[in-house]
Amino acid sequence: MDLQARIYVAGHRGLVGSAILRALQNRGYTNLVTRSSSELDLRDRDAVFQFFGEQDIDYVFLAAAKVGGIRANNEFPADFIRDNLLIQTNVIDAAFQSQVRKLLFLGSTCIYPKYAPQPLKEEYLLTGELEPTNAPYAIAKIAGITMCQSYNRQYGTRFISAMPTNMYGPNDNFDLNTSHVLPALLRKIHEAKQSGSPFVEIWGTGAPLREFLHADDLADACLFLMNNYEDSEIVNVGVGEDISIKQLAELIQSIVEYDGELRFNSSIPDGTPRKLVDVSKIQSMGWKASIPLDAGIRAVYNEYCKQIEITI
């Protein structure tokens, strides 16, 4: 991508899209296009085609998606499969029709089978059953990958797909019903400290293992792939290390300086037992994550504290 290329970041207000936008701005890209969901509803095919028809876009980062943690995925499966299929179908097809040079589609590691061997290699896709709490979301993402690959095969497009592991960072969702575990625990533990509560409820057993990637690392990987990767095969993006939910809760407890009890509620589902990605493919191309989990969580916690001071 040259610095004047016209680049559309779909989903620029979200955790991942906002990080991609920051990374592009920091590197001197000047011709950036964004639309909020109220300006352009990506589920509306006509609106998306009109937008692409008018904008003369060269590159697309497709970071717009309906996302959420284990509870939201489990409670709103229809919304997750419908909205994601609509968004990605419209954007991918409009990008093809308007002859963009390249598109990067963002998937998720929940596309891999629930009991796949660890670490998760790219070739494990479609080799077993999915985790039921988020299968509708995962199936939408698998459809997006297959769509990119099929357009490349039939039409010669250059649509690539990256599979990030669990993400965290600035502009995350802190709503306890819909958020992912890391922002949820930051909020719950912070509020327990503020209110003097003797314990915090953590969902599940605490045993599941997860890998956490800072959104700025993912954004860096996305720019790297856009500039260096041409194949249809998916590429994992992660740090290559995981921790248990219990260890994550303890780490957050030490950052927040809360000394109450962590109480695990095993009546709530754990989801996939482990989701550690094999990062050898992207590392062999020359990219590696660089933000340590401890420092990344501290930065997010500081931002969260500032944010709630403003809202109060």
Note whether 149 binds ligand GFB by CB under 6 A. Answer: no
**Shortest distance in whole angstroms from residue 182 CB to ligand GFB:** 7
120, 164 Cβ separation under 8 angstroms: no
**Stretch in the footprint of ligand GFB (CB under 6 A) among 7-15, 221-229, 269-277, 292-300:** 269-277
Q: Does 108 bind ligand GFB (CB under 6 A)?
A: yes
Residue 206 — left, alpha, or beta (φ > 0 → left; ψ -120 to 50 → alpha)?
Answer: left
Q: Is 120 in the site for ligand GFB (CB under 6 A)?
A: no
The residues, any chain, with a CB within 8 Å of residue 187's CB and separated by 6 or more, are 174, 176, 179, 304
- Give the range of 202-210, 253-261, 285-293, 300-308 binding ligand GFB by CB under 6 A: 202-210
169, 204, 240, 296: which one binds ligand GFB (CB under 6 A): 204
64 within 8 A of 15, measured Cβ to Cβ = no
d(CA 89, CA 148): 10
Q: Which residues contact 76 (CB under 8 A, 6 or more apart)?
A: 68
Q: Residue 2 CB, nearest distance to ligand GFB (Å)?
A: 33
Is 210 a binding residue for ligand GFB by CB under 6 A? The answer is yes
Among 20-28, 176-184, 191-199, 214-222, the segment contacting ligand GFB (CB under 6 A): 176-184
What values do phi and psi take at 180, rounded to 5?
A: -85, 170
Going 184 to 289 to 26 to 294, the CA torsion angle's sign is: positive
Answer yes or no whether residue 180 interacts with ligand GFB by CB under 6 A: yes
137 classed as catalytic: yes
Residues of this chain that bind ligand GFB (CB under 6 A) = 69-71, 73, 108, 110, 133-134, 137, 166, 179-181, 184, 202-204, 208, 210, 245, 268, 270-272
Q: Name the residues annotated as catalytic.
A: 137
